[in-house]
Amino acid sequence: MFFIVFRYFIFPLSTIIIVTGILLIVFGWKRIHEAKGQLVTTGIYGHVRHPQYLGFLLLTLGMNLEWTTFFTILLWPVIAVLYYRLAKKEEKESEEVFGEEYRKYKRSVPMLIPRIRNKTSSG
């Protein structure tokens, strides 16, 4: 029974989570690299302010689902808190560099968890 649950539910779910995390990391890095020091607010950055950190959290969460151990279960929340703190630090630095432009961006785009928007009601 466990094998069936793992093979048909847990493994596919964890694979989707891992691949999503990798894509967020890659596309986030690509946007930042192309920006050459400019504020990036489009693409994946139009949905979440820290897509790479979200990607790392999803990647490690997916890995945790596949290779669960006592230590990985304890470590994941620590990693999540550390990435959150790092994101807050970087946001403070971005506000110093980009000023009101970054504060406006910060008010309109969530930090780590994208909003589900109803496209028909926005306009």
Which amino acid appears at position 111 of this protein?
A: M
Please give the mean pLDDT across all residues of the chain. Answer: 92
Give residue 119's pLDDT.
Answer: 53
Distances (CA, A) of 4 to 10, 12, 41, 66, 73: 9, 12, 43, 14, 23
Average of per-residue pLDDT across 11-34: 96
Q: Kindly write down the DSSP assignment for every residue of 55-91, as one continuous string.
A: HHHHHHHHHHHHS--HHHHHHHHHHHHHHHHHHHHHH
Its pTM stands at 0.87
